[in-house]
Chains A and B, each alone.
Chain A
Amino acid sequence: MTTALTAGLGLKPQHYEAALACPADGLWFEVHPENYMVAGGPRLAWLEAIRARHAISLHGVALSLAADAEPDPAHLARLAGLARRIEPALISEHLAWSTWRGAYHPDLLPFPRSGEALARIADNVSRTQDALQRRIALENPSHYLHIDGHAWDEIDFLAELARRTGCGLLLDVNNVYVSARNLGCPAEAYIDAFPGERVMEIHLAGHAPDPNLGAALLVDSHDAPVAPEVWALYARLIARIGARATLIERDDKLPDFATLFAERERADSMLRTPLAVAA
């Protein structure tokens, strides 16, 4: 996918038919592999049908790479099985944890970025890449909490993980914006410092103010169009690092396919002239 350099869309069951029929050149789709780890049935059949026409990326949420434990071998085996079946263009995961002591917490949870965590996560990424026989890309998560115990800043931490394991990175520009707003640091500085040569994919999504705390806390809700500020950061990023496969993520308050596709077209046209878009 890093050679295709086009824009893709998160694939939702409500859009299966439209996705399958869409003839757009270079269009690709991304799914959470956990939603397709089933023995058979219509979901898998749809994914295979769409895969026959479009490239697919598997974006995992449950390997729990930042847990102080090895990835669940059964889950890793299911992921490897799905990858053999779908032959995805790219596989990615998060710099976060979700499964802990056998219980899955459906979220991307934070941790103090310590040397201990770095060693553990590097080992987990290597195990994953060995099991999948390929490089994965690691995504920067959204942050909501001020954690005092960080020994590393996030970019250095991700760059060191990439150096130790050979993994790539997935830069979620919306997560950068949300985290910067929530933690009170400049999003532009993060975008400018991110190691561009490692970026295999970019994510764009919408966010929303927290229903209780209002604009003081932005939530990475994936329930709205990409915000203007995030488009501006995206333009700034690709002007510096060049075109990269870019995904529009939408998981809630789902509009029709055409509306999402229009957002995808905007990213796609920016990717065609990455140097011009920052003007």
Chain B
Amino acid sequence: MNAPMNTPIPGTLARFQDAFAQALLALEATPAAAIASDVAALTAQPAFAVYRNTVMKGCIDALQANYPAVARLVGEEWFRAAAAIHVREALPADPTLLRYGAAFADFLARFEPAAELPYLPGVARLDRYWTEAHTAPTEDALDPAAVARLAPEALAGTVLHPHPAARWAWFADAPIYTIWSRNRNDAALDDNLDWQPEGALLVRPRDVVEWIALDAAGCVFLDACAAGATLAAAAQAALRVQSDADLARLMSTLLEAGAFSGMSFDHNQRLMEEHP
């Protein structure tokens, strides 16, 4: 066993790690005087760049993997430069890098160089929804036939539970769904684009994440279901935002897509209906 060269004082390891972690994220141009003395002898070695590069590359690679539609829209060089800024602001809090980047859409929304691409945060949000759907609990989707078998008088008081992998959003300002899905599918970018509001639904009824366009009524309907509303109440909410909504078609679209995993019955509703 080697004799200690210098007796460490308590807290030396923590101080070393504070200084090392800070130096990892420091910009290359950081003056030597600004680096804590505990690690100055290390950061002066050319090999320190291996750690610095590995940490940055690991985080940026993860963001690029988790935000493929954003990366395709802005190009790899722009994406990685923006990602590097975000990484320095928000290192992963969770080592499962598959989940890294929860704050990336918000970052893009306030990132000045992205101001001329106002659709970027929305596209990022759908990339994020894809990740959330991909890693959500595995559950069977509700069989549409089970709903079809319900007695008509039971339908109004039924509560449909959104599938744990289902994610939906309405974008009032831009055709985010079309922009996102084209870039997610590597489709051509020069196709005509109608600049109109759009919504999206992402689901994972089996292994693979799938997505469809969803209108405003559909998004509000799912919001209501997620809040525990009965079908009667969810339908009313949908009609309030879109008075001509085709609710029968909406229900069948959502059920076929696998947007629900189960249903229950609101007994209060039933009592109210039986004893008005």
Chain A residues within 8 Å of B, Cβ to Cβ = 34-35, 37-45, 61-62, 67-69, 75, 97-107, 109, 111-112, 114-117, 120, 144-153, 156, 160, 182, 210, 212-213, 217, 219
**Do B41 and A106 touch across chains, with their CB atoms under 8 A apart?**
no
A100 and B17 contact, Cβ closer than 8 Å, known pairs A105-B55, A148-B41: yes
B153 at the interface (CB under 8 A from A): no
Interface segment out of the listed B71-79, B94-102, B236-244, B262-270: B94-102
Once bound together, how far apart are the Cα atoms of A219 and B49, in whole Å?
11
Contact partner of B46 (CB less than 8 A), chosen from A103, A104, A213, is A213
Contact partner of A100 (CB less than 8 A), chosen from B8, B21, B99, is B21
**Do A103 and B21 touch across chains, with their CB atoms under 8 A apart?**
yes
**Do A112 and B96 touch across chains, with their CB atoms under 8 A apart?**
no
B4 at the interface (CB under 8 A from A): yes
**Residue of A42, A115, A152, A213 most packed against chain B (CB within 10 A):** A42
Write out the residue numbers on chain B whose beta carbons fall within 8 Å of the beta carbon of A42. Answer: 134, 207-208
Chain B residues within 8 Å of A, Cβ to Cβ = 1-6, 8, 10-14, 16-18, 20-21, 24, 41-42, 45-51, 54-55, 58-59, 62, 91-99, 134-139, 164-165, 204, 207-208
Once bound together, how far apart are the Cα atoms of A101 and B15, in whole Å?
12
- Chain A: minimal CB distance from B86 (Å): 13
- Chain A: minimal CB distance from B28 (Å): 12
**Do A62 and B95 touch across chains, with their CB atoms under 8 A apart?**
yes
- Chain B: minimal CB distance from A190 (Å): 15
A150 and B96 contact, Cβ closer than 8 Å, known pairs A42-B208, A103-B21: no
Once bound together, how far apart are the Cα atoms of A272 and B21, in whole Å?
44
Once bound together, how far apart are the Cα atoms of A40 and B206, in whole Å?
11
Q: A106-B58, A145-B51 are in contact. List 10 more A-B contacts (CB 8 A).
A: A41-B134, A42-B208, A68-B17, A107-B54, A109-B17, A116-B13, A144-B45, A148-B5, A160-B1, A212-B46
Contact partner of B21 (CB less than 8 A), chosen from A43, A44, A105, is A105
- Chain A: minimal CB distance from B84 (Å): 14
Once bound together, how far apart are the Cα atoms of A94 and B211, in whole Å?
40
Please name the residue on chain B nearest to A119 by beta carbon: B13
Write out the residue numbers on chain A whose beta carbons fall within 8 Å of the beta carbon of B139. Answer: 40
What are 7 A-B interface contacts by the 8 Å CB criterion? A45-B138, A100-B17, A103-B92, A111-B16, A145-B45, A210-B50, A212-B46
A106 and B55 contact, Cβ closer than 8 Å, known pairs A42-B207, A42-B208, A112-B16: yes
**Do A41 and B58 touch across chains, with their CB atoms under 8 A apart?**
no
**Do B5 and A107 touch across chains, with their CB atoms under 8 A apart?**
no
A115 and B136 contact, Cβ closer than 8 Å, known pairs A42-B207, A212-B49: no
- Chain A: minimal CB distance from B67 (Å): 17
- Chain B: minimal CB distance from A219 (Å): 6
Please name the residue on chain B nearest to A97 by beta carbon: B17
**Do B135 and A106 touch across chains, with their CB atoms under 8 A apart?**
no
A35 and B98 contact, Cβ closer than 8 Å, known pairs A41-B138, A111-B13, A114-B13: yes
**Do A149 and B97 touch across chains, with their CB atoms under 8 A apart?**
no
Contact partner of A144 (CB less than 8 A), chosen from B51, B99, B135, B137, is B51
**Do B41 and A67 touch across chains, with their CB atoms under 8 A apart?**
no
**Do B135 and A41 touch across chains, with their CB atoms under 8 A apart?**
yes
**Do B17 and A111 touch across chains, with their CB atoms under 8 A apart?**
yes
Once bound together, how far apart are the Cα atoms of A38 and B135, in whole Å?
6
**Do A114 and B47 touch across chains, with their CB atoms under 8 A apart?**
no
- Chain B: minimal CB distance from A142 (Å): 9
**Do B54 and A41 touch across chains, with their CB atoms under 8 A apart?**
no
Once bound together, how far apart are the Cα atoms of A150 and B6, in whole Å?
9
Please name the residue on chain A nearest to B97 by beta carbon: A106
Once bound together, how far apart are the Cα atoms of A104 and B94, in whole Å?
6
